[in-house]
Each structure stands twice: as C-alpha cells, then as structure tokens.
Amino acid sequence: MTSSSTEAALASRRGAAGVGDGEESLARALLSVLPGLAHIRLEELGEARLLERVDEKYLLPVALCAELLQRASAGYRILSVGGQAVFRYSTLYLDTEERALYQAHQLGRPGRQKLRLRRYLDSGLGFLELKTRTRKGGTRKLREELSLARPGEAGFEGLLLPAFLSGAVQSRLQLPASQLAPALWTNFRRVTLVGTGVPERVTLDFGLEVALARGELSPSRTPERLPGGVCLLEVKRGGHRQSSLLRTLLREARVRPLSFSKYCVGLSLLSPELRKNRFLPQHRALRAHGHSS
C-alpha cells in the first residue's frame, strides 16, 4: 500500500459533511461503555495533568477500542465537565515556511518540538502549547492560557504573531519566533480517562480532520477527514516503570505502540512535496484500520 493511495483515500473524503460512518460507530461504542465508568471533574485532575510524562500511542479499529475499554473500565474514571464527556478540539500548528519543525520530526532529531494553539470548542478556552521531546524519550509541555473571543468557534483572531508568544515560550523555542506562521489545522473529538490511584491519563481521539493553513488564524478551507473507523488511543504516564492496566490489555491483544503525530501525519498527507518516509507506517496503519472497521 503506497502513500499515494492513502492520500487518494483522504482526498475522496474532501468536502464530506456531517459525521462519518466510522465516527458514528465509535461514538456508539463509546457511549455503550461510558455509563459504566465513574466520573472525575476537571479540578480533580491534580498530578494526572502530567505536563512532563511518557507517552505511548496506539491506532485501533473501533470494535477493539470499545472491547478494551469495557475490560478496563474498573481501573479508570472518565473526565466529565457539566455532564459532558466527549469534547471537540480545534488546533492550529505553527511552523516555518520551510517546515523546520516538521523536518526535525522527519529526521528524528532529539529535542524536536511542536508549537500549537489549541481551542476547546465546548468551553471556549484556548491554550498555547510548546511540546519538546526529551532525550530520554519523554515529553515536556509548556502550556499557557490564551485570551480568546467568540467561544465555541475555531480560530485565533486577534493574536499577533509572534508578539503573543511569552518570554518563557520564546526562550525555549529552538528557532526564532519571527519565522513562525500557521501551517496546519486539525479537528477531532476526545474522551479522557484518568487512572484510579495512579498518575495516568488515557485519551481517545476520533473523527480527525486536517486542513492546510496558509498563514491565516481562522480556518478557511474545508477540512479533509482521515479514514474513518479509527481511534487514536494515547497512554500518558508519569514514568516508564509505572504500571498501566490498558497497556497490559493492549499488549495481550498484540497491539503495539505506534509513533503518531497529528501534525506530522496530517501535513505529510496534504503536502506531496515534503519528504515523509518516517510517516509511511502511519499512513499504512490508517488505511488498514480504516478499512477493517
């Protein structure tokens, strides 16, 4: 299976309105499991926020994701805000014109970074997030809240690049902030689980859409939906030695971790001119799991 065939499958979804069959299936599967989970409020997260952590990501077909959630339900609580447990996210990634941050990931450079503006559409909150890969394979995240207008809408109008970047962010960036501009939009829905008695968070993302950003701070292009019927599950722990019920179940199901960056995979699918050999396994996995659901 080639990258071009994956890109063709993605292109066939261009302009699709509403919720895809895969997303509907996953939503139904999740809803069937969620009532059995205890709830946790945002203010109760505490150390489970895990701004410095070890991440592992898994790409799963819908049916297996629902089955594992059912088996692991006793070990997790579900994040709930105002009785709602499925949340909409809109994210704008920044990069240079030459896509220097993307190229650092393509080359597997230590200390590689991603800089993004993330909006929580259901609450109206927005954050600037700088993620840095540590030399030990972990992730360090610097997070700052943004003051945004028009809650519930995707977009970051009124922010002036790079003036709104704080000194703390600019001091940690590995390139001049003046070189950055909007590069890629992503939209998705997320369910968050929190480990019972251990500092662990599990996120389940689905309905992922991507669109190129040509320097604008508001989405102006119809997003393209990635192959449906796929759940991106990420286990976030405080350290390599920390136990995890879901990781154990995933290992028993012979599901292996897969490096998966929404920014890098999305940009590589939409930008034929970029080198992408590092992300071809993710292209193939998306296509395989999307068709198996």
Question: Domain extents for the chain?
Answer: 3-292
Query: Tens digits of per-residue pLDDT, 200-243?
Result: 889 999 889 999 998 888 887 788 888 767 889 999 887 656 77
| Distance between CA atoms of residues 111 and 113, nearest Å | 6
pTM, whole model, 2 decimals? 0.85
Report the distance separating Cα 259 and Cα 280, nearest Å: 11
> pLDDT at residue 291 above 50?
yes
What are 82-119's pLDDT values in tens digits? 888 889 999 999 999 999 999 999 999 999 999 999 99
DSSP 183-226: EEEEEEEEEEEEESSSSEEEEEEEEEEEEE-SS-SS--S--EEP
What pLDDT is stored for residue 27 in this prediction? Answer: 63
Question: What does DSSP say about strands 224-225 and 181-195: parallel, antiparallel, or unpaired?
Answer: unpaired
Is the distance from CB of 209 to CB of 186 less than 8 angstroms? Answer: yes
What CATH number has the domain spanning 3-292?
2.40.320.10
